[in-house]
Amino acid sequence: LKLYIHSARAVTRGVHWRAAAMASRQGDATTALHVLEQHIAGEVTEANALPQLLHCYHRDPRLVLAALSEKINSVVANADTGSVATQTGQLLVNVAKLLDERLAEEAAAQGKEQKPGSAKSLSRSLLDHVLLLTGGKNRAAKENSVRSQGCSLVAALVPSAPDHPTARDKLVEFSMDKMPGIRETAVRGLGSINATPAVEQAIVARCTDPFTAVRFSAVRSAIVTGATAPALLKRLDDIEACVRAQIYYTLAKQPESMQEFGPAALARLVVGLLDRSGQVRQGAGLAVDAWCKRLCGGSALLLLSRCDVTSDEALGDAAAAALAARFPEEGADLAQRLFGGSRPQRGDQATIADGLHATLLARHALAAMSDEDRDEIVDIPILLQRATEALGKASSRPNGALILRQYLHIVLSVDFCDEASRRRAERLAEAVLMRAPIDHQNSNDLIMNNNGNRYSSADLGILILRKCIGLSRGFQARTAKHQALEAQCSTRAVLLVSDLCQPLQGGGGGQTSSEGEEDDGEGHFATRLSFRLQEINNAIEDRKHQQKALAEQKRKAVANEEFIQAQKIKEVANKTNIELAALTKEQGSLQAERDTILLRVLAILRALLKWSQSDLQKDPAQSGTLDQILRPVVSLPALSDEVEIATISAICLFCSRDGESARGHWCLLLELLRSLRQDDEPSQPLSKRRHSRARAAIAARTLADCALVHGSRGALDREEIVSAAHALAAVPFPSRHIVVESLCSWFFGLGHVFFEEHLREPVLEVQWALGWMLVEAFKQQGFADADDDGDDAASTTKAVGVANSAAATKARSRGASWVTRPPPMQMLEDRDEAAADDEEDSAQSMATAARLMQFFNLLPKLPGKHSAPMLSLAVESIAESGLWRRAVLLPQVVGGKARWVRGFSWPQLFHFAHDRLSPEMCFRLWRCSLQLCVADPALANFAEVPFALAEMVKEAPPGAADLLREAVALGADAAALHPLLARIPPEQREAPPPQGATHLVAQAQARAAERERRAVLAEQGVDIDTWAPAEVQAPDILPPHHRMKMGKAGAAPKKRAANAENAGPIVPPSTWSAINAQVPQEQEDPKQEPKRRRCVGKTKDVEPRLPLRNIR
């Protein structure tokens, strides 16, 4: 009995103990949950809540985790509450992080080490729970608010577990979400994840996001590596200053990442010190200071020595100027060592005095000083001595010509206080003109006008000579004294040219023809060399033809087994090869001898014409060079391309200076520009195309300059002025970028001339130029617009897997235009030539679009009544010539993926013009847009013309409602245009159209008018079919974002026909009685059977539904 009682008491105590333990555990859980609720509600402060939760965590960690998880569940479930849920979720994350920090401090006090993000971490366990709530990999909630809340929680908890693989994959998935806010939060979270290729690719993909906040976060989260560095460099051209500044802040935090950038990229980064935004300049200063301190020993010169200053001289000058302004003391010390009274030590001679980077930095440091400081540092005799030494070494050492130009810049910036220094500087200028290395012109720079601000050695020599004579670079009044000094300078330069021409007049290969003797007797230097060179060229051609004939004879002799004859032919062929080698060697020597002197002569004349302000009528020395030198040179036989370009440049400078010369060479300039139609064909050799483009670029700039300068003075009549615009407008499609700046200059200065002539009689060629320039301003390089929410996620998902988007872009095939593409086999054969071709690439196209956007932004603001109508005429030209078909969305396979691509965005163009025009001009925009809907309703929908009208319907001009009714009556898509009528403001819905407004025409008449316009443009030399096709077949499917927009509007794609039928015809107003009577009206056929629905199962036949208009 005692044993039984003892056992019963033990059992009772066990039951009570278990019950007490369970009650205690439930109480702790309730306590933890209650503390969290009070802390969330603000009833308990953080200082009081954390000790209680820490006490509960020590007793049972699972209870605190369960309480946090329960609250996280509530936060995600109520994510649609917005900021309340976001703040609550952030508070719970902070609680978990603080508890982990307290636990880590306690472990450290006990001598235990606990790594952050370990398996025992509360934040990591909570992160696992949040990942379950987000759906896991490749699964997510449909509601945007739930996805956003889940992404915020994951991004906030990831820093506590940077090696969590599931969290990494989920954030990469969130970075491709269609919502910009979710992408931005995911990218911020990826910045705390350990770097992996997937993370780097996701960040690189978001660096080109259309939303600024996403790009900013992507740049901020990037870890600079070889994979992310190219994407960061592209963001240096971002339109937002905050993105550009964040690049430098990111680089300042990672100064060792400078090793990832090459010399050219580093120079581009240093130029950020001169950015137009103060925020960017501040960030660039922090990055440059970090680089100098950590990697360059605090020396700006060592940093500059890592930059590439030779490939792009303008970029190198900008980088040196930025560093000189950032480190003025080091620049002044370097200038003192180079040009001061004390010469540098012998050990520093090779590294300091002869260094390109040191000379460049010292030059810009001196340029930033005041005149007093510069005169105090520079010792003029030492400077002139160094410049003379640099001239002697210019041809023998690397970058000698560039180092010489730096010395000449410094000589040009100092003042000569004594006659001895002036005479030494004058002798230096003459020596530079006679012996300095020739600066060869790059054809690409001539085409794009990239060397406009670059000073050649001849330019600097002429400027120093002018300074020694007493002439400055600034404007000076044309007094008799000034004209005498100008004539003196011209005489000195022409005398130098005559000294250079003497060797060509007396020697060079002997006289070979009586014609050569006559030309040489008239003073045409280089004629003997040129005729001898022509004879050698003819002999070389004969030897080459003879080689081909001998090879054919030898092949036939071997085939006929006449081996003795074959041996004889072989001996003759060997002799021919020896003769050919000798002729080729003689050709090279003669051409080098002639071209070297001719290029130096032409360089001196170009520099003289460029910087001289002399009156050519009172300067016989300068004006006589046109007849005595330039015209004879351009008529020489066997002229090389470089000499021809240099001669044409000099003649064009004469034309810009003198109206009579411009009128005399006007036909030549027009012919040089029109020759592009034959010389710029894809079948022509690449060298010939480049040469033709270089000539045309020079002629285009000269035509615009002469029309602006001499047109206002009366030297050119109105017909000649308009002819310049005709020639500029009719360039071929591949060469359009050559004339963009010239056309902009012509329209800015002479737009009123075009408008007056257009009012008398339409000038279709010039209006055509306005149209294609506006199209180029809105040209799109990539896919459809980024606001296409439906397709954005899918396209971005595939874009993450592309490692190098730049390489994929370059690999894209290009044809003569956006319409024609070379066949696959031809692409493979011409790949090498296409890689070297100077066709317009993406960067060049975007730069041209930016310049044209500035032009059209300024065009409506110009004084006069012609400015705004010119923008309207540009839009009408696009609509009436067929250029609008370039805005049609077409499915194409780009990089192995199906994409909807287009040449430009019609909605963006329409919105741009609509915001800048008056209501009367806006009515013309609506009329030409609705005429497109009438002429080709299906294709207009794919060009998004109705979408463009829908965006501006609240600002519709008076008479727009009548246009809509008339367009539907003429056959436009009623389903697309009917909703616009109801959205027009009531006060404008019945407003009459402007006086004199024209009506819409029927489809057949519109197409006939377009064919006639295209024929007229073709007669004027415009290859209209290359710019835009006459016919484009509408795709059979709709783009995804079109389906989404139709779905949001309540019209599914398959019900468009029914909607159009139910809408009924929109009757035009009685005021517009001139509607074409031949418009077909819909009539119902009572015998036509209604379309029956597809039956999936066995169902009984039902009566078809009648159209709504038949229900009474």
943-961: pLDDT as tens digits: 999 999 999 988 999 888 8
Tokens of 474: 């600034």
Residue 678's pLDDT band, with cuts at 50, 70 and 90, is confident
- Residue 985's CB is within 10 A of a number of other CB atoms, namely 13
Q: 891 - beta bridge partners?
A: 900
Per-residue pLDDT at 29? 52
Confidence (pLDDT) at 442: 64
Report pLDDT for 1030.
86
Helical segments of 42-164, H only: 46-59, 61-77, 83-109, 122-133, 144-157
Q: What percent of the chain shows pLDDT beyond 70?
A: 79
Q: What is the pLDDT of residues 703-736, one digit of tens each?
A: 999 999 998 888 899 999 999 999 999 999 988 8
Q: Which two tokens stand for residue 989?
A: 């819905």
pLDDT of 924 reads 92
CA atoms within 13 A on the CB side of 596: 12
pLDDT over 80 at 980, yes or no: yes
Q: In angstroms, rounded to a whole number, what is the distance separating the alpha carbons of residues 933 and 925?
A: 13
764 or 782, greater pLDDT: 764
Give the CA distances from residue 541 to residues 297, 544, 583, 687, in Å, rounded to whole numbers and listed in that order: 61, 5, 10, 19
**pLDDT given at position 671:** 93
Mean local confidence (pLDDT), 25-30: 51
Query: What is the rounded CA–CA span in Å between residue 1013 and residue 877?
Result: 10
1071 and 962 Cβ atoms separated by less than 8 Å: yes
- How far is it, in rounded angstroms, from Cα 556 to Cα 551? 9
Give the per-residue pLDDT at 786.
33
The pLDDT confidence band at residue 10, using thresholds 50, 70 and 90, is: low
pLDDT at 833 exceeding the cut of 50? no
Is pLDDT of 13 > 60?
no
Over range 413-425, report the average pLDDT: 90
pLDDT at position 341 is 59
User: What pTM value is reported for the model?
Assistant: 0.78
Token representation of residue 514: 């009586």
Q: How many CA atoms lie within 13 A of 795 on its CB side?
A: 24
Q: Is the pLDDT of residue 794 over 50?
A: no
**What average pLDDT does the segment 256-282 reach?**
92
Other residues' Cβ atoms within 10 Å of the Cβ of residue 32: 24
Q: What stretches of 247-329 adopt beta strand conformation (E)?
A: none
- Indicate the range of 112-116, 190-194, 355-359, 504-508 predicted with least confidence: 504-508
Which range, of 8-12, 397-401, 628-632, 1014-1018, averages the lowest pLDDT?
A: 8-12
Reported as a pLDDT band with limits 50, 70 and 90, residue 57 is: confident
Higher per-residue pLDDT: 848 or 510: 848
491-500, 873-882, 976-985, 1066-1075: the lowest-pLDDT one = 1066-1075
pLDDT of residue 996: 60
pLDDT given for residue 449 in this prediction: 60
For residue 1050, pLDDT over 70 is answered with no
Mean pLDDT rounded to a whole number for the chain: 80
Sequence-separated contacts (24+) of 60-67 with Cβ below 8 Å: 60/25, 60/28, 61/122, 63/25, 63/28, 63/29, 63/32, 64/32, 64/99, 64/122, 65/122, 65/125, 65/126, 65/129, 66/29, 66/32, 67/29, 67/32, 67/33, 67/36
pLDDT at 832 over 90: no
pLDDT score at 359? 92
